[in-house]
Amino acid sequence: MSASLPPSLRLAQAVGIMTSAFLSGGVLAVSYGFVPSMSQAPNTLLVREWNTTYGRGAAASPALSMLSTLSYLYLSYNLSFTLNHHKAEVYALAAIATGSIVPFTLIVMKTVNGKLYGKVEKSKGLDRSEEMSESQDKKGEKSQELLDRWAMLNFGRGLLPFTGACLGFYASFFMTS
């Protein structure tokens, strides 16, 4: 971070980098930590726990993505009219990378999310100890198979704000005017 930048831009650098890195870490931790730990759970518990975890992420992730994206856009806009226009371009790329987590979720993950939500609905009314029967759909997908596919897509999704954080860090600390 350049000492010559006004405090508002230095704050935007910190907020952009920290929120995109935090968001990425949270998303990646779910794919790397939560999903493998649930692989031995009964199907009923598996889909319910996924639903709880997904709900928490869905509540926080868009706001974190928006905060980081707006910080990078603020930096990009304010630097675009100066000799730092190359930094502005990198901050714009960081904004695009971080902000694309929302459309990625809504478009790329829509099918697998819908199938998992169907499994969640099927599990309602069952006791925790009751095992949900795994009637296979047309593709023969079971809860664990869907969750594994979801984890792979979610891992890719987590790389988007990670890329934003790396670009923001690079522009803030390694690019010169």
Q: 113-130 pLDDT, tens per residue?
A: 999 999 999 888 776 666
Q: What is the pLDDT of residue 176?
A: 81
Q: What is the pLDDT of residue 90?
A: 97
DSSP 130: S
Helix (H) or strand (E) holding 134: none
Residue 22 has pLDDT above 50, yes or no: yes
Q: How far apart are CA 141 and CA 28, in angstroms?
A: 23
CA gap 92, 82 in Å, rounded: 15
Least trusted range by pLDDT, from 19-23, 81-85, 128-132, 159-163: 128-132
Mean pLDDT of 94-110: 97
**Residue 58 three-state SS:** helix
Q: Tell me, what's the pLDDT at 40?
A: 86
Q: At residue 2, does pLDDT exceed 80? A: no
> Distances in Å between the alpha carbon of 111 and those of 17, 56, 136?
31, 20, 16
Q: Does an H or E element contain 170, and which?
A: helix 143-173
Structure tokens that stand for 155 in this block: 């891992």
